[in-house]
């Protein structure tokens, strides 16, 4: 709620709720990012930074038929005049508009290193050069001088810039766009130039055309990297809603190599693999080989160049190449999903658009800019007609005109005579001439043209040219008036312009579209082997083969908290202080080298962030897994048969706990005779294990020790009647058998003072 406090006539303090002001300010900021930075305009398919770069290049005269100019010049000029948001964003926009592997039709012609499809970055702007592409000049920047679009002040109001470029084709579809705004993002793939132009023509001829009918022309995305779209049947819904997922596969060929070997060659990649993802793809394949998912690969070579992608996998003689290709599609990004989201600025606000809406908005824009263009041309032709008619009339009475000019004292007197018939002060040769001069009524423009006319225009050929020019002007006026008054004529003009662009800039489709069956991968289950599970004190788990463990036994035992023998197809279970048992399949545990870091155990199971301690980790398939002793902080205890935990669930409640109680010990019983409980106040109680009853895992158990108020069980020890039973109490050795006398369960125990 706002309240204005008047201090004096000049100063005002506006009091408002802080939350309201923050909300309003954030919304303003968000809309500024959405509209003025991150999202393209549906009319020209450009973000503001791209539009400013192209407009500035046009202003600098960097035309397609002129010499290249340094990119740094473009960036600096754009930043200084139109886009004061840093040079990196401007140069990045310039670079992307040159990359033929990202854009359906590049808008900027780059000279130098502007990056590669494999993720190499562009050279610094001081090294590269650029100029406009021809398609940009004739399709996006033409007719700017004919008042076809609105201009607005630049950031410091010293210059004017266009609010939108007069795009002659749906650039949003042809080149696509990607951008992340505040709370929304756009991701539009490139499309085929020819198909989009044909769809626009079809819409102009029939505004009631459906999206399905438009897709007879626009088959789907046409990625510059090629690939294959494999979910054709889903495209109609995607283009009707403006959102969806498009499945793209790389193109793979099988070649016979020397020695009877087989090469699987990736010749085209999914659009989503542009950049560093090619390196990730190769790493993923290497990981599959390391994990023994395939044993068919002998060698991998990346022979890609500026001429195209060529990644070669050399396979063994007896390998099944089809199965290996399926493995690539299933386990790597060679088959990937493109998240289609056709979000753009329409009428000043962000909107998710269908295919028909994008074409409709662009065609509507075409009518708008052509209406403004032909109104401007008509205005100029009418002006020319007015002047031409004045000159023709003057030629017919040229003797009178000369007499007026010779008899006038100055230009103003002669002009007044020709426009208003004023003859005062002008010397005429005869009375008839004065009478004729008084009837003259040339317009202001006609009079100026007559006064500026040179004498050579009176030559016969020049007069004929004037008459011919006048006839041409009259024909142009009739044509322009017909275009402006007749929608069919305007439609023909728009179609003609689009067809001319298509004839010059069209190209064949690069990405075939099919409905492919889901990849079925026949994976060979790896042979189960003996492994050693290792988990360090930080909770990072891994497994190594037994040979590796034996070779590094001392280091493995000293560096890891848990070292457990198991099988590669086995399981590991562990118990936590909240009374849960987690089960981990060894197939999910990273297998590799001894010095590999491993993976956090909380990423391998349904670990709760409230669980603070792992009390026991073991192999549930171990023959020793028979009886478990549970002890809580509140001194509740029980023995549970290990068979109750022989389950395949990831999470099991191992015991029932009283409110605010926690497990302090879970112990695998192995013929120990005695149990010793130790509290936080150093109260000890020793009694026989046979006094602990066996119960189900869902039971709370029985009390093991009577605790003083505020005291809790801290440690639990298991001993035999002989052997080493030494622990540390108050930094001194403490013999559990000598210092703690045998007692019975559910008694108070003995206080040890040191």
Segment 29-37 shows an average pLDDT of 58
Three-class SS state of 698: coil
Q: HSE on the CB side for 747, CA within 13 Å?
A: 15
Q: pLDDT tens-digit profile of 160-177?
A: 999 999 999 999 999 999
CA angle 691, 647, 521 (to 5 degrees): 160
pLDDT computed for residue 721 by the predictor? 73
Mutual angle of helices 487-505 and 193-205, in 10-degree steps: 170
pLDDT category of residue 630 using cuts at 50, 70 and 90? very high
Question: CB of 535 within 8 A of CB of 617?
Answer: yes
CATH 2.120.10.90 is right for the domain spanning 530-751: yes
* H runs (alpha helix) in 180-276: 193-205, 211-214, 235-241
- Longest CA pairwise span in the chain (Å): 153
> What residues have CB less than 8 Å from 366, skipping those under 6 apart?
168, 494
User: How does 350-383 read in b/e, with b if 16+ C-beta sit within 10 Å?
Assistant: bbebbbbbbbbbbbebbeebbebbbbbbbeebee
Question: CB of 535 within 8 A of CB of 560?
Answer: yes
With a cut of 80, say whether residue 9 has pLDDT above it.
no
Q: pLDDT tens-digit profile of 89-98?
A: 999 999 999 9
pLDDT computed for residue 592 by the predictor? 81
Instruction: Give domain 366-504's CATH superfamily.
Output: Topoisomerase, domain 3 (1.10.268.10)
Higher-confidence residue of 180 and 77: namely 77
pLDDT computed for residue 11 by the predictor? 64
Higher-confidence residue of 76 and 3: namely 76
Q: What is the CA radius of gyration of the chain?
A: 42
Known catalytic residues? Answer: 127
Segment 219-229 shows an average pLDDT of 95
| Tokens found for residue 116 | 């590669």
With a cut of 80, say whether residue 25 has pLDDT above it.
no
Three-class SS state of 345: strand
Domain coordinates of the chain in residue numbers?
251-333, 366-504, 530-751
DSSP state for residue 643 in the 8-state scheme: G
Q: pLDDT tens-digit profile of 401-444?
A: 888 888 888 889 988 988 888 888 888 888 888 888 888 889 88
Give CA separation, 513 vs 231, 241, 265, 510, in Å. 8, 19, 21, 10
CA-based nearest residue to 73, from 149, 4, 127: 127
pLDDT category of residue 26 using cuts at 50, 70 and 90? low
Q: Among 16-25, 31-40, 247-256, 620-629, where is mean pLDDT lowest?
A: 31-40
pLDDT category of residue 484 using cuts at 50, 70 and 90? very high
Q: pLDDT tens-digit profile of 488-509?
A: 999 999 999 999 999 999 999 9
Q: HSE on the CB side for 702, CA within 13 Å?
A: 12
Instruction: Give me the torsion for CA of 658, 659, 660, 663, rounded to 10°.
Output: 20
With a cut of 50, say whether residue 6 has pLDDT above it.
no
> What residues have CB less than 8 Å from 13, skipping those under 6 apart?
4, 5, 7
Question: CB of 250 within 8 A of CB of 268?
Answer: yes
Segment 679-690 shows an average pLDDT of 92
Residue whose tokens read 């209406």: 371
Q: Kindly state the helix (H) or strand (E) to which residue 249 belongs, with its residue range.
A: strand 243-249
With a cut of 90, say whether residue 643 has pLDDT above it.
no
C-alpha 531/C-alpha 552 separation (Å) is: 13
Q: HSE on the CB side for 378, CA within 13 Å?
A: 15
C-alpha 282/C-alpha 296 separation (Å) is: 15
CB neighbours of residue 147 within 10 Å: 14
CB neighbours of residue 668 within 10 Å: 16
Give the strand pairing for 663-668 and 627-632.
Answer: antiparallel
C-alpha 60/C-alpha 55 separation (Å) is: 9
pLDDT computed for residue 372 by the predictor? 95
**In DSSP terms, which residues pair with 341 in a beta bridge?**
187, 243
The CATH number of 251-333 is 3.30.1360.40
Give CA separation, 399 vs 192, 402, 418, 452, 679, in Å. 65, 5, 13, 16, 129
Across the chain, mean pLDDT equals 89
pLDDT computed for residue 518 by the predictor? 80
With a cut of 80, say whether residue 617 has pLDDT above it.
yes
With a cut of 70, say whether residue 622 has pLDDT above it.
yes
């Amino acid at each position: 709620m706002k309240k204005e406090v008047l201090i004096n006539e000049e100063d005002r303090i506006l009091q408002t709720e802080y939350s309201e002001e923050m909300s309003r300010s954030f919304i303003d900021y968000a809309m500024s990012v959405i509209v003025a930075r991150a999202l393209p305009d549906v009319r020209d398919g450009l973000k503001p930074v791209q539009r400013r770069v192209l407009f500035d290049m046009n202003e600098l005269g960097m035309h397609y038929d002129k010499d290249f100019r340094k990119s740094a010049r473009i960036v600096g000029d754009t930043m200084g005049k139109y886009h004061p948001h840093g040079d990196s964003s401007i140069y990045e926009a310039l670079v992307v508009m040159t990359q033929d592997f990202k854009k359906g039709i590049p808008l900027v012609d780059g000279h130098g290193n502007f990056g590669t499809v494999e993720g190499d970055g562009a050279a610094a702007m001081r090294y590269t050069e650029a100029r406009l592409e021809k398609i940009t000049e004739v399709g996006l920047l033409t007719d700017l001088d004919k008042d076809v679009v609105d201009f607005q002040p630049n950031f410091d109001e010293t210059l004017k810039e266009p609010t939108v470029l007069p795009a002659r084709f749906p650039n949003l579809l042809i080149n696509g766009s990607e951008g992340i705004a505040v709370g929304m993002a756009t991701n539009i793939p490139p499309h085929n130039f020819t198909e989009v132009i044909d769809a626009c023509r079809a819409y102009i001829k029939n505004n009631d055309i459906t999206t399905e009918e438009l897709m007879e022309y626009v088959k789907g995305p046409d990625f510059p990297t090629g690939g294959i779209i494999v979910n054709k049947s889903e495209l109609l819904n995607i283009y009707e809603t403006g959102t969806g997922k498009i499945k793209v596969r790389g193109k793979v060929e099988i070649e016979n190599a020397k020695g009877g070997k087989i090469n699987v060659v990736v010749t085209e990649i999914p659009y989503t693999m542009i950049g560093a993802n090619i390196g990730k793809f190769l790493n993923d394949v290497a990981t599959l080989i390391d994990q023994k998912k395939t044993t068919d690969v002998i060698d991998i070579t990346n022979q890609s160049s500026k001429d195209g992608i060529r990644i070669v996998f050399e396979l063994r003689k007896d390998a099944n190449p089809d199965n290996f290709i399926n493995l690539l599609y299933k386990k790597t990004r060679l088959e990937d999903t493109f998240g289609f989201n056709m979000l753009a600025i329409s009428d000043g606000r962000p909107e998710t658009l269908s295919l028909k809406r994008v074409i409709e908005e662009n065609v509507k824009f075409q009518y708008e800019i052509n209406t403004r263009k032909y109104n401007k041309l008509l205005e100029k032709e009418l002006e020319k007609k007015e002047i031409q008619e004045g000159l023709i009339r003057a030629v017919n009475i040229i003797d009178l005109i000369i007499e007026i000019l010779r008899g006038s004292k100055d230009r103003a007197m002669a002009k007044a005579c020709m426009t208003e018939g004023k003859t005062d002060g002008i010397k005429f040769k005869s009375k008839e001439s004065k009478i004729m001069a008084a009837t003259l009524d040339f317009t202001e423009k006609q009079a100026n043209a007559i006064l500026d006319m040179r004498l050579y225009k009176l030559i016969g050929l020049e007069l004929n040219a004037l008459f011919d020019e006048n006839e041409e002007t009259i024909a142009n006026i009739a044509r322009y008036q017909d275009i402006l008054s007749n929608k069919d004529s305007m439609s023909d003009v728009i179609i003609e312009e689009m067809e001319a662009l298509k004839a010059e800039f069209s190209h064949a489709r690069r990405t075939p579209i099919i409905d492919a069956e889901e990849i079925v991968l026949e994976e060979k289950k790896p042979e189960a082997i003996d492994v050693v599970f290792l988990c360090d004190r930080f909770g990072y788990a891994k497994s190594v083969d037994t040979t590796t463990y034996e070779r590094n036994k001392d280091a493995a035992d000293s560096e890891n908290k848990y070292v457990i023998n198991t099988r590669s197809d086995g399981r590991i279970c562990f118990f936590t202080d909240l009374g849960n048992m987690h089960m981990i399949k060894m197939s999910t545990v990273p297998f590799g080298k001894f010095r590999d870091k491993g993976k956090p155990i909380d990423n391998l199971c349904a670990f709760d962030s409230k669980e603070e301690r792992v009390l026991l980790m073991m192999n549930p398939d171990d023959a020793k897994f028979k009886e478990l002793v549970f002890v809580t902080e509140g001194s509740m205890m029980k023995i549970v048969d290990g068979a109750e935990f022989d389950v395949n669930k990831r999470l099991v409640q191992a015991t029932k706990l009283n409110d605010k109680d926690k497990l302090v010990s879970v112990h695998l019983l192995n013929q120990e005779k005695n149990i010793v409980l130790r509290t936080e106040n150093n109260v000890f109680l020793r009694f026989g294990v046979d006094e602990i009853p066996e119960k189900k895992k869902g039971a709370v158990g029985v009390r093991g020790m009577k605790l003083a108020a505020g005291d809790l069980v801290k440690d639990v020890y298991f001993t035999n009647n002989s052997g080493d039973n030494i622990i540390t109490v108050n930094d001194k050795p403490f013999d559990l058998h000598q210092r703690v006398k045998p007692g019975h369960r559910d008694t108070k125990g003995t206080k040890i003072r040191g």
